[in-house]
Amino acid sequence: MSHPLTTDLARRDLLLLAAGAGLAAMLPLPAWAQAADIKSLKIATIGSGREGGALGTLFAKAGHPVMFSSRHPENLKELVDSAGPNAKAGTVEDAVKFADVVLLVVPYTAVEQIGKENGAELAKKKLVIDVSNPNGRRDGEDFVKKVNDEGGAGLVTAKLLPGAKIVRAFNALGAGKLADNAVKSDKVGVPIAGDDKGAVELAEALIRQIGFEPVLVGGLAMGKHLVPGTPLAGEHSTAELKQIASTLK
Ligand SMILES: NC(=O)c1ccc[n+]([C@@H]2O[C@H](COP(=O)([O-])OP(=O)(O)OC[C@H]3O[C@@H](n4cnc5c(N)ncnc54)[C@H](OP(=O)(O)O)[C@@H]3O)[C@@H](O)[C@H]2O)c1
């Protein structure tokens, strides 16, 4: 015969479990978990140059429908062909309409205009991965100083794309080695920064899906460290990234 205390505990546990299940059913699931299959998520790149082309190709080869975009989509035929049957090309407007998840991979000076033209639609997306960086050589040192004075790339992107669920990622992993790094058995770490929990979880799942291991460094304010030339830049293991991130503020 079971001990009365054990029986009481078992009944209480069952009640708690039932209450927990009811509560869980009422809690909203993160955006990515609502998708029946993460591979069904449609991914678009705004910017299909070296980095946007390489990242979009990894997602297309991982099974996602991908739309590469350009102001001249007719020039993307070679990229689309090499990315395989899941890939197609369109205008920036087409891509924003098509996507569940947008990769923003443009010169940082273009982000303001993209925000003005597509900000309302981008704010409806499950996730915007901001891969873009201010760069002194390309954009001018005055521009880089202005971005840094305003809090750095993460906070400035959030200001230029109001309401968008932004996660910075892949900012300092070179396009030329992305495909090789994606298949390394010792996973290459990807430092990420974001404020929206659901978007961060979705970004983490997508990053793992293409062969990397995400390391959350902090909120968007930490996005200023996710640019080339900082200690987090380049190829690191997750342990190295965590150690470096622990020294940053
Ligand atoms: N290259 C890398 O290894 C690397 C690594 C990490 C991060 N990043 C960052 O990724 C971003 C892109 O670098 P990239 O090397 O890929 O440059 P890229 O090869 O020059 O490509 C830039 C892309 O941005 C698009 N673009 C430019 N202005 C635009 C606008 N106003 N509206 C829409 N699209 C626009 C261009 O599209 P069009 O066809 O319309 O001209 C082009 O496809 C930069 O911010 C860079 O710092 C680069």
Task: Tell me the pLDDT tens digit for each residue of 83-100.
Answer: 999 999 999 999 999 999
Minimal CA–CA distance to 107: which of 69, 51, 177?
51
Residue 8 has pLDDT above 70, yes or no: no
Cα–Cα distance measured from residue 117 to residue 121, given in angstroms and rounded to the nearest whole number: 9
pLDDT tens digit string along 124-153? 999 999 999 999 999 999 999 999 999 999
Q: Ligand 1: distance of its center to the CA of 187 in Å?
A: 26
The 3-state DSSP class for residue 168 equals strand
Tokens of 204: 């983490």
In one-letter notation, the amino acid at residue 59 is F
Residue 242 has pLDDT above 70, yes or no: yes
CA 98, chain centre distance (Å): 17
Q: What integer is the mean pLDDT of 58-62?
A: 97
Kindly report the protein residue whose alpha carbon is nearest to atom 45 of ligand 1: 132
Pocket probe mutation, ligand 1, options 45, 51, 224, max atoms within 8 Å of Cβ? 51
State if residue 205 touches ligand 1 by the CB under 6 angstroms criterion.
Answer: no
Cα–Cα distance measured from residue 136 to residue 143, given in angstroms and rounded to the nearest whole number: 7
Residue 21 has pLDDT above 50, yes or no: no
> 22 or 164: which carries more pLDDT confidence?
164
